[in-house]
Amino acid sequence: MIDKEQLLNALRTVNDPELGKNLVELGMIHDLTIKDGRVCLTLALTTMACPLKDRMMNDARQALLALDGVDQVEIELREMTEEEKRRALPQAGRQAQPAGVAAHLNRVRRVIAVVSGKGGVGKSSVAAMLAVAWRRQGQAVGVLDADITGPSIPMLFGLRGSPPVGPVGILPAESRTGIRVMSINLLLPKEDEAVVWRGPLIGGAIRQFWGDVVWGDLDVLVVDLPPGTADASLTVMQSIPLNGLVLVTSPQDLAGMVVRKAASMAHHLNVPILGLVENMSYVVCPRCDEQIEVFGPSQAAHTALQIGTPLLGRIPLDPQLARRCDAGQIEDYQTDILDAIAGQVMERIPARATTPIFG
C-alpha cells in the first residue's frame, strides 16, 4: 500500500525551474491525499502568472504516475500566501532581491503609464503608437501590458507565443523594430483564453512583469494600464517608479467625466500627469479634407482645463490605423500628430520618478 511519504519522495524529484529547488522543499505541495489509486494535491505557486506552471504540473503528475499503485493524479493551483512566500523565497536565495529577481539587471530611465477612465477610447493603441514614435527616434523602448484581463498589446505588434525564460528571469518578447514587450497574453496557451483573476493575483502579475522580467537597458518603458481606478492601476502607481501619466479620452462627455476620476486618483497618489490626449476626435473626409466630429464636439480642451493639465493633441479616426492594428503592423503606421505628442511628453517628463510605496 503506497503511503504519503512515498508520494512526497516522488515530488522531491520535481524542481521549480526558476527557483532551483524541489516542490516539497519550497513548501508548494498541500492537501496531498491518495485513495483507490487516485492522488489529489494542491500546488501553491509564488504567482499565478508563473510561465512555468504547466511544466511543473506535468512533471509532478508524471513523477506520481511512475509509482506503482497510482492510477490518476488531480492537481489544483493556487497562489501562495504572503507567509508561504516568505518561507519559500529565502530558500531560493531571493531574500536579497525584494524588488524582483531581475531588478538588478534592469536600468530603465523613464517609466510612463498610459491611462484612461473608461474602455473603448483607444488607450492601448495610443500607448503602442507612443512606443513606436520613441523607437523611431532611436530610443530603447519597452511596453509593459498591465491590462491583465484585457490585454491587446501583443496583437498590435503581431507577437504570439511564449517569451523565452532566462537563467534569472523572463525575457520580454521583441517586436520587429526591437520594442520589448511583456503581456499576460504571451503566457497563455491560447490568446483568447480569459484571465479570471481577483485583484491580488492581478497585482502580483504586474509586479512580476516589472521586477522579474529582464528588461535590460531602456530609455523609456510604456505601461499600458487597464481602464478605471481599480486594483491594477493602484498596483502600478504604488509599486513602480513612474515619471508620469498620459491620460487618454474621447469626445463624449462620459469619457471626459471618467478620465477626470483617473486624474483624481493620480493626484491623490502624487503621480505627475504629463498631459491629455483626445483620441477619435474626428474623421477627415477623403474627398474634401473636412474634419467631421462623428462623436460630437471635442471636449478635450475643457477636460484638460478642469484637470489642470495641457492638451497634448487630438488624434483622428483613421481606417488605416485600424487595419494596421488588426494585422499586427502598428509599427508601420506613422502620423505627425503622434510624433508631436511623443515629443511633448518627453519635454514634460520630470527628472525624478515617484517613490513606490511597496517594493
pLDDT digits (tens, 9 = 90+) for 247-256: 999 887 676 7
Element (H, E) at 173: strand 173-174
Q: In what order do the strands lie in the sheet with 29-35?
A: 29-35, 38-45, 72-79
Please tell me the distance from the alpha carbon of residue 48 to that of residue 53, in angstroms, as a whole number: 8
pLDDT digits (tens, 9 = 90+) for 98-114: 567 888 888 999 999 99
Sign of CA dihedral 115, 121, 124, 129: negative
Closest CA to 249 of 202, 296, 319: 296
Please tell me the distance from the alpha carbon of residue 191 to that of residue 157, in angstroms, as a whole number: 14
Residue-range domains of the chain with CATH: 4-92 (3.30.300.130), 103-348 (3.40.50.300)
Sign of CA dihedral 49, 52, 58, 64: negative
Helix (H/G/I), strand (E/B), else coil: 92? helix
> What amino acid is encoded at 213 in this protein?
V
pLDDT for the residue 12: 95
Alpha-helical (H) ranges within the chain are 4-11, 53-65, 82-88, 123-136, 153-157, 199-211, 231-239, 253-268, 300-307, 319-326, 336-348
Instruction: Specify which residues 145 forms β-bridges with.
Output: 224
pLDDT for the residue 218: 95
pLDDT for the residue 195: 76
Regarding beta strands 273-278 and 311-314, do their DSSP bridges make them parallel or antiparallel, or are they unpaired? parallel
Q: Which residues of the chain have pLDDT under 70?
A: 18, 49-51, 89-99, 229, 253, 255, 357-359
Instruction: Specify which residues 144 forms β-bridges with.
Output: 182, 223
Q: Cα–Cα–Cα angle for 138, 109, 232, nearest 5°? A: 110
pLDDT for the residue 286: 85
Please tell me the distance from the alpha carbon of residue 81 to that of residue 142, in angstroms, as a whole number: 31
Contact 182, 145 (CB under 8 A): yes
Please tell me the distance from the alpha carbon of residue 265 to that of residue 173, in angstroms, as a whole number: 31
Please tell me the distance from the alpha carbon of residue 46 to that of residue 53, in angstroms, as a whole number: 10
pLDDT for the residue 255: 66
Cell 491525499, residue located:
33
pLDDT for the residue 180: 96
Please tell me the distance from the alpha carbon of residue 276 to that of residue 345, in angstroms, as a whole number: 10
Count of CB atoms situated within 10 Å of the CB of 252: 16
Helix (H/G/I), strand (E/B), else coil: 185? helix
pLDDT for the residue 94: 39
Please tell me the distance from the alpha carbon of residue 313 to that of residue 26, in angstroms, as a whole number: 52
pLDDT for the residue 49: 59
What burial letters (b/e) apply to 68-101, b meaning 16+ CB within 10 Å? eebeebebeeebbeeebbeebbeebebeeeeebb
pTM of the predicted structure, to 2 decimals: 0.70
pLDDT for the residue 89: 67
Q: For the CA atoms of the chain, what is the radius of gyration? A: 23
